[in-house]
Structure 1
């Protein structure tokens, strides 16, 4: 509880489900990149995490979604300092604990575009990405948080 507000899981799930509806619009395309560390980060119980990981597996098969996963064994060109969204090369959105940053300066958009491309270049896609997600699911189901190396 960072902001001393009680957790409202139901409202959070409702908001996330509304955002996910965008994934089903045929006129939209998404290129997502996540790290294996993010897949293993736990704020919720194993059952909820397994459900989320299963959802990622399904999303990875969608025609308008390109899902990349950067595994632990991958050498980065640029560190994944924080998450961000690059929206149509017009806006970079970053969420912090206290604010949502919306960057619109061309030099900032160019910087984040380069960082995104560097991450995309080392990410695993398709069956290789699903293998990483599957390995995390197996570790979680087995009750261990240690990665299989």
Structure 2
């Protein structure tokens, strides 16, 4: 859990507690945590955890809180603070509680807001370049650690729908993949072979650029984890536990430096095609 995330959540909890303490009951006493819990139909422990920043509320929680303390106009403020928390840190457990499709829809919405995107992927083909079969393999395998993933077919369809943004030539996309992403077996050999073939057209010059970082180059920075930079104002990256949406200038600058260090080692055009062909040859040799 990031320090920034925890600090933002504690600040949100403190503001919620402040609103409760400002509320006076009909008998003249200040509204207690126990009384508020009774009004909301919650446990007292939930109220306590929210106020101490030990639990992240939902949008419905903060709106209900504002109503219950007699300050409905404060809902907008609490929602804004919560969005700041969620912009920084979005646990997969919370996100996937509603299924995989809403996650894809959130990324689709961000894609529509982004004019220039740069990304690096060390182990997987970027989602915007995935075939349906490859996407199904990836999402199905994630279900091994996230059992809440059940709507795989709908999620695949949503991911394919996101790819329409690539047709908009007033946007620019610059994808970098490590060669490891081309040989990572997250699907059947036949599906991976088809995925490799589908990457080749993206090697031509245009508003979409695809570069490959070969195994044999001297990396200036470790391959690390994947990330995407959106209009130099937002970075999206993830771990097994959570997805981070980072808008702090220092965080963005850090990922820009990492991307630039990786980009100078990438190959494009015919050279990138040779690396993809090498991955395809390795796949055929093993089957």
Offset of residue 66 of structure 1: 1.3
In the alignment, structure 2 segments of 5+ residues that lack a partner are: 1-143
Offset of residue 114 of structure 1: 0.7
* Equivalent-residue separation in structure 1 for 2:167 and 2:149 (angstroms): 32
- Which residue of 2 is the match for residue 129 of structure 1? 272
Q: Once the two structures are superposed, what CA deviation does each residue of 1:2-50 show, in whole Å capped at 9, x if it has no partner?
A: 1124665423421221122111111111111000011111111011111
Q: Match of 1:85, SS?
A: strand
1:89 equivalent in alignment to 2:232: yes
- Which residue of 2 is the match for residue 20 of structure 1? 163
* Equivalent-residue separation in structure 2 for 1:46 and 1:12 (angstroms): 22
* Equivalent-residue separation in structure 2 for 1:9 and 1:36 (angstroms): 26
- Which residue of 2 is the match for residue 4 of structure 1? 147
Change (3 A) 1:44 1:12: farther
* Equivalent-residue separation in structure 2 for 1:8 and 1:65 (angstroms): 30
* Equivalent-residue separation in structure 1 for 2:221 and 2:172 (angstroms): 24
Q: Which moved more, 1:2-11 or 1:51-60?
A: 2-11
**Alignment RMSD:** 1.6
Q: Match of 1:134, SS?
A: helix
- How many aligned residue pairs are there? 144
1:44 equivalent in alignment to 2:187: yes
* Equivalent-residue separation in structure 1 for 2:251 and 2:237 (angstroms): 12
Would you tell me which structure has more helix in proportion to its own residues? 2
* Equivalent-residue separation in structure 1 for 2:195 and 2:156 (angstroms): 11
Taking structure 2 as the reference length, the TM-score comes to: 0.48
Offset of residue 127 of structure 1: 0.8
- Which residue of 1 is the match for residue 217 of structure 2? 74
* Equivalent-residue separation in structure 2 for 1:135 and 1:105 (angstroms): 39
- Which residue of 2 is the match for residue 147 of structure 1? none
Within the candidate set 238, 242, 261, 1:118 is matched to 261
Q: Deviating runs (4+, > 3 A) in structure 1?
A: 5-9
In the alignment, structure 1 segments of 5+ residues that lack a partner are: 145-149
Q: Which moved more, 1:104-113 or 1:89-98?
A: 89-98
* Equivalent-residue separation in structure 2 for 1:107 and 1:44 (angstroms): 37
Using CA pairs below 8 Å that are at least 6 residues apart, which structure has the higher relative contact order?
A: 1
